Chains A and B, each alone.
Chain A
Amino acid sequence: MGVRCGRGAAASAIVLALGASACSALGTEPPSVLDGATLTVGVKYDQPGLGLEGPDGELTGFDVDVAHYLAERMGFPPERVELAGVTSAEREKVLVGGEVDMVVATYSITQARKTEVTFGGPYYVAQQDLMVAADDTGIQGVHDLEGRRLCQARGSYSSTRVTEGLGIGAELVEAPSYSACVDALREGEVDAVSTDDLILAGFLAREPEAFRLVNSPFTQEKYGVGLPHGDVRACEVVNKAITEMYQDGTAEGLLETWFGDGDPEVLTSVPQFEGCV
């Protein structure tokens, strides 16, 4: 009897072990930020129009509104969404380190970044453009920068695209940030500032009398929604939400609200997504 009982138990054990190994290989869905109790979103805090921290500490801007819209569609009502101000340099670090669940911070999708970050979107395709002093009519396109002074914000590639990408011999003048570049433009220390049209529009909206947007875009910057690498589930939900944001007119309304005065030609149709896998 003992023998038979042992045999039965052994057979059962084999079956169970087989089943368990098979099940463990198949049954689990990879973790996702969608499963969390709250959603922490990294946004810019020093970019007018996109993500800017006000004197009361409140973050406002296009990116902030987009972040809230997306979070809502991901199942996180405003009270379960936390915003965290991030700088350009620390976006990868905080996302990979898990300090934030999602980044909506003028975060350009690049092939190199895609090895570390899964990108939903883009939610907007910005174009690189030029901003010059309002009374400077000599610059009508990027080629007019030949021999002129172009501001180079530290850590930004925008000016390199002009000099190396297009082979235009502009004189680069370095400044610590785009705010500093805009100050230099106001003071006449540089002739032009070149970066994404939305960023320029944010500055222009504050001082519409002082500056002019050239409106001659020459490259594209795809603003993506940064998610932990491999979070395909959240990425697909984000893409669907972005599609809805354009279909229900929210995107157009937000672009109008934040960039309506400074006149880049905004795109009001859903951008081409990058793909989640």
Chain B
Amino acid sequence: MTRPGTGERVPVRRRASTPLRVWTLTGVCLAMIAGLFSSSALALGQARDGLYVLGRDAGPRAMATTDLYLALADMDARVADVLLMGTGHDLGSGREDALERYGSSRDRANEALLQAASLTEGDSVEERNVQEVLDGMGDYERLATQARLSNDRAEAPPGEVDAAALAEYRRATRLMHTELLPKAFNLGLDSSAIVRRNHGDGQRSVALGLVWVCGAGTAALASLAGLQLYFRARFRRRFNPPLLAATAGTVALTVGVVLVLNTGSGHQHDAKEEGLDAAMALARAGALATDMQADQSRYLADPGQADAYQQVYLERAQQILFRPAENLDAYYARVDEVAAAYPDLPGGREGDGDPGTLGYLGERAQEAILPGQEHEDALAEVLECYDRLQEQDGALREAARDGDTDTAIAVRMAIADSENGTFPDCQSALDGLTELHVEAFHEGIERGEAVLSLWAWLPTAGSLALLGLVLLGVRPRLAEYR
């Protein structure tokens, strides 16, 4: 504050300029508080949008696309089962049941395609993928139906698929495995990528919002401090209670918004990583497993390609749960070790040349572990069931190698039996585990929304209160000049 130049004029100048200065400083304070309000409202709004997109829009739709692969793989599995059954209509849970499930998988595939189409709208590359899967499904159905009709006409006994039917099925399953399933899988991955990008963009805009809130809060505090210093110098007032309250309120509002943004974003992060990402990874494991167990039927139905089907069975199995093994017999033994050692996982120590227990049910399931015994038990159940499935696979192939086709088919049909088969058992164990992650996803979203909804009106009310306090603090000083 500069000293007035000449003593005489001081009163005049003081009377004229002080109210103006007070008004100016007050105006700056009010503007800064308004700035704090806008930046808070904007950042909170972005945080709410981010949660909404992840929790109610892109997230659930991405989850739905993972169903596409499962449904398609299941269709091909049912066709292989029906062909393998031949005239043995009552094997396992029966031909009628297999055909019904084929139909419902087709409906699910169509439903999932619609979800994929809505999620990839505007992305020409992925839109074309969706269209190609849609077209391919028509071709597949035609080939699969032909194969079934040929086999029926030939009245092929169980395990002796008619040659013409087999040729048609080979074309169908090749179409499924080289065109439909890869595109379906990639669409699922792409929807995960969309979620990841949305989430990342959202988190970054919230972070930017935080910077603005911090900045606006600091500026508001500085302007309030300036006003108080002026009052102190000009009016010899040690305290101005309303302005003091406004200062405290500004600190509280800024800190509150920062904390809420941080907490909300933390909940969103958990919902994505521990909830959605893990659930989608497990859903993929289930889809691959569906295709894997169908390789048993293909192995039995198509002796000419048996080696290749056995090999892809092992490859798919290794994607689901990886242990180093050159052949299936070694793999069965390794899987047995994993189930027995759980919750410890074999291998993976430095320098022993063993990369560890990897794949969807290996390290990835471990990394995504949720707190609580429930989750550990659920994963243990899945591993135990998977071990049982591999054990039965061993029995199936042993019977087939010994030429005992009836036993091999009986084992296969018992595995696939939709009433009490090993595979449906494993699938429901896996569903149980997946469900825990889906719950964690919804919980994270709800927590985030709860935190943010509490702050839906607080910035408005708080800022209005701050404005009121500033005016309340300034009014008596201005009154001195009336």
Contact = CB atoms under 8 A, between A and B. Distances in A.
Interface residues of A, number: 50
A165 B218 CA distance: 68
Give the most central of A1, A111, A112: most B CB within 10 Å: A111
Contacts of B229: 1, 5
A4 B315 contact: no
Interface in B403-448: none
Contact of B258 (A15, A167, A243): A15
Given A8-B225, A14-B255, A27-B208, A247 B125 contact: yes
Contacts of A19: 210-211, 213-214, 258
Interface residues on B, range: 35 or more
Contacts of A220: 311-312, 315
Secondary structure dominating the interface of B? helix
Given A111-B318, A164-B327, A277-B277, A23 B210 contact: yes
Interface in A229-277: 232, 236, 239-240, 243-244, 247, 267, 269-273, 275-277
Secondary structure dominating the interface of A? helix
Contacts of B324: 112
Contacts of A166: 307, 311, 327
A243 B125 contact: yes
A12 interface: yes
B8 interface: no
Interface in A80-125: 111-112, 114-115
Interface string A123-136: 00000000000000
B228 A4 contact: yes
Contacts of B222: 8, 12
A112 B204 CA distance: 33
A115 B355 CA distance: 8
Interface stretch (B105-113, B174-182, B369-377): B174-182
B129 interface: yes
A16 interface: yes
A8 B228 CA distance: 11
A271 B179 CA distance: 8
Contacts of A243: 125-126, 129, 186
A115 B347 CA distance: 13
Interface of B: 125-126, 128-129, 178-179, 181-183, 185-186, 189-190, 192-193, 196-197, 200, 203-204, 206-208, 210-211, 213-214, 217-218, 221-222, 224-225, 228-229, 232, 247, 251, 254-255, 258-259, 261-262, 265, 277, 281, 284, 307-308, 311-312, 314-315, 318-319, 322, 324, 326-327, 355-356, 358-359, 363
